[in-house]
Amino acid sequence: MRHRLTAALATTSAAVLAVVGAATTANAAPADKAQVLSSWTQTSASSQNAWRTANANQGQWAAYGFDWSTDYCSSSPDNPFGFPFKESCARHDFGYRNYKAMGAFDANKPRLDDAFYADLKRVCAQYSGATKTSCDGTAWTYYQAVKVFGIKGAETVG
């Protein structure tokens, strides 16, 4: 009898802990969302790689309610002159959309644009000579476009 009571208490305790743990995790997600979002929108290659991994496994982040939608480079070519800028544009969209949803876009826009430019420069780093010079110039143009038009057209430029 004593073993049954102990087993019942252990089962009940485990169930209570599971519910409390789930509630704590659910409640913690919004508080952690800003920190996770920030970690994925920095200028570093490690931030870009962390976002890339998360983007490939979006389901693992469903509790955070991130907006993963993208129109890539909006009305500009995704791969101008053959330079693969599409992923850089997708990460930029991610930052714009999610900071806007959190009401923190204006405070973070300069860093998001700088991270975009850093991503583009990493794309260009794989080239050399005149091709790299061309890529760097195209990256600079894309960066200037989001700096200027991203303020007015943040819904479409990102």
pLDDT at 151: 63
Could you give the CA distance from residue 64 to residue 35 in angstroms, rounded to a whole number?
A: 11
Could you give the CA distance from residue 73 to residue 80 in angstroms, rounded to a whole number?
A: 10
Per-residue model confidence as pLDDT tens digits over 4-48: 433 443 433 333 333 333 333 444 456 699 999 999 999 999 999
92 is catalytic: yes
| Long-range contact set of residues 58-64: C-beta below 8 Å, sequence gap at least 24 | 61/36, 63/25, 63/26, 63/29, 64/29, 64/30, 64/32, 64/33, 64/36
pLDDT at 15: 36
Give SS3 for 23.
helix
pLDDT at 49: 98
Catalytic residue among 33, 40, 73, 92: 92
pLDDT at 30: 60
What pTM, to 2 d.p., does this model score? 0.78
1 vs 130, higher pLDDT: 130
pLDDT at 19: 33
Could you give the CA distance from residue 40 to residue 47 in angstroms, rounded to a whole number?
A: 5
Could you give the CA distance from residue 37 to residue 145 in angstroms, rounded to a whole number?
A: 23
